[in-house]
Every structure is written in C-alpha cells, then in structure tokens.
Amino acid sequence: MKNRRIYSLLFVGMLICTGLFIQTKNGINPSDIIQDTITLALGVLYEALPFVFLGITLSVIVQLYIRENRLLGTLPNNPFLRKLVLSISGSLLPVCECGNVPLARGLISKGIRSSDVLTFLLAAPIINPVTILTTSQAFAGNPHVTWLRVIGALFIANYIGWSFGRYRDKDMLTDEFAAYCAHTHSQEKTRASHSAVKQVKVFASCFRNETESLFPALVGGSLLAGIIQTTVPRSVLTTVSTEPALAIFALIVLAFIVSICANVDAFFALSLSGIFPLSAILAFLVFGPMIDLKMLALLRTTFKVRTLVRLTLIVFLLSYSFAMVVHYAI
C-alpha cells in the first residue's frame, strides 16, 4: 500500500515535470505556469472551503442531534420513493457538491444506506433552486437545456442508487469511515445527558475531526485541478469539437478536470457553446457536478477505490449515452 502511494506520487511528479519541460521548450516562462497553477488551485480551494465547512456543520448537527430512528422515519419505506425524496432533498440544503460530501458522511453514520446516499450526492448539486436558476439564466435562449439537465441528473442518480443497492455498506465504505460510523452510533445514547458546555466541546471536536479528514482530499483535488489546467492546453479538447461523439467525450473530460461549482458552471459552459454542440454542453452540465477531480478526492475519504472507479465509469457511460440520445433524438 505504501509502495503504491509512492509510485503514484512519482508518476504524478513525472507528469508534472514532463508538462513543465514541454511548456518551457515552447518558450513559456515556467514561473508563469507555477504562479497560475497556484492561483487556480487556491481559487478552487477558497471557493470550495466555505461550502465544505457548511456541509461539515450540517453533518455534525445530523450526527449529534438527530436520532437515527427519526431520520430514517422521515424517509419513505418504498425504495423507489426513498431515492426520489433523496434526489430532491438537495433543494432544501444550501451546499454545493463539495459540502454534500461531509453531509453524506453524516447521513451514512445515521444509518441511511450508502447506495441511497449516493443518489443524494449525485442529484443534489443539480436539483436545487440555485443551479436550476443559473442554468435557465445562462441558457435563456435554449430552455430545454435546463429541464434536460434535471432529467439527466434524476435518471443517473436514481440508476446509481439502484445499481449500488446490491452492495453492502461494508463493501463500499473505507474501513476507517466504517469504524467512525460504529463509534458515532455507540456514543449517541450518552450525548443527550451532556451539559451545554460539554456539547459545545463535543461539537467542536467532531467538527475538527471531519475537517482534518476531508482537508487533505480537498487540497489534493484542488492542486491536481490547477496542475492539469495549466499543463494541458485547452486546444487539445477544442480540436475535436466538430465530431459529436468526440465532442461529448472531450467536454466530459473537461468537466472532470475543471471542477467548477455546479451553481455557476452553466456560465462557463455557455462560453463553449459556440464551439461545441449542445449535446456536449449537456454532458458537461450533467457529468461535472457529479464527478470531478475535487469530488473524487473528497469521496475517497468515505468510499473504497473500487467503488469510486465503478461509480465514475457508470456515471460517465450514462452521461455519454444521455448526451448521444439528446444529440440524435431531440
């Protein structure tokens, strides 16, 4: 395990050095590359951090003050309805996809199945008033972009929930997080008797624990997003814009790399709408909020690698297929 991490770091380091070397050979000042990488990485981090803090706060509230049976009691027993309710519950929670990860951790620790929480995680960034409003504002000339985005998100999120429903939680969650959930559950009964001061200390302690668990992933994801954006020329993607199949793939890759918040990605996608077909733009808008570098890094704190690989592949295939259907059928 330790060797695999070292080799992974060496591989990433080699990629960075190769990218820097090629850019320098092309006459580009390496200090510009480094400065822009830092600016972009810190931009992603500073934009995501407050939402992550908000998500952690909600997660700790869920963990400390909402009893498991009450939380599970608010959800329908019918699995179809339960996933549907979780799909639209993002409308009530004012966090972007980064903040949804700590909240999802809180929900899992309270007994909601991991597969159901994945439905919430994938749907919530898109099916919320802010994202719907900004999408409709950006694509006022193409109103079907908004409702196609919502439909695509609903379909993919619920399919993922059903698809992963056959796996047990312990097969999907990391050992560390599974142990954390077990510990949280055992502490629930004693918490009610704490004094106000003690509760504040416990709240602060849980907040710190979640922050320290998520912070390395957030920084790593932000840094990787910054590095790739400065070392990979955008023209690599725009050269395939004329062929729909390749254009859809290119924008899915761009969405994965850029890691933009779902609340404003519609305006970024709008700037590409003159070059790429609308189906590719739709793929960007559907795939991006679900899976990107930053999200995968955050999800790694909770889910096993094979779960994330499976999740990424299925979401990619579904987003790609959805976009292709839209391109040729609508």
Binding site for another protein (CB under 8 A): 28-29, 32-36, 38-47, 49-50, 53-54, 57, 137-142, 200-201, 203-205, 207-209, 211-213, 215-216, 219-220, 225-226, 229-230, 233-235, 238, 258-261, 263-265, 267-268, 270-275
156 vs 217 by CB, closer to another protein: 217
Which of 119, 279 has the CB closer to another protein?
A: 279
- Three-state DSSP class for 291? coil
CB 275 within 8 A of CB 247: no
Q: How far is the CB of 163 from another protein (least distance, A)?
A: 31
Query: Closer CB to another protein, residue 33 or residue 118?
Result: 33
Pick between residue 33 and residue 172 the one whose CB is nearest to another protein. 33
Helices vs strands, H then E, count in the chain: 17, 0
Closest CA to 59 of 281, 201, 232, 214: 214
Contact 330, 301 (CB under 8 A): no
> Which of these, 48, 19, 18, lies nearest to 36 by C-alpha position?
19
Q: At what angle do helices 114-123 and 97-109 cross, to 10 degrees?
A: 160
Distance in Å, CB of 239 to another protein, minimum:
10
Q: What is the closest distance, in whole angstroms, from the C-beta atom of residue 275 to another protein in the complex? A: 6
Least distance CB 304 / another protein (angstroms) = 18
User: Look-up: residue for tokens 């909600």?
Assistant: 58
Query: Cβ distance 265 to 272 under 8 Å?
Result: no
To another protein, the closest distance from the beta carbon of 130 in angstroms equals 12
Closer of 156 and 286 to another protein (Cβ): 286
Which one, 225 or 315, has the nearer CB to another protein?
225
We find the least distance from the C-beta atom of residue 222 to another protein, in angstroms, to be 9
Give residues with Cβ within 8 angstroms of 22, minimum separation 6.
none
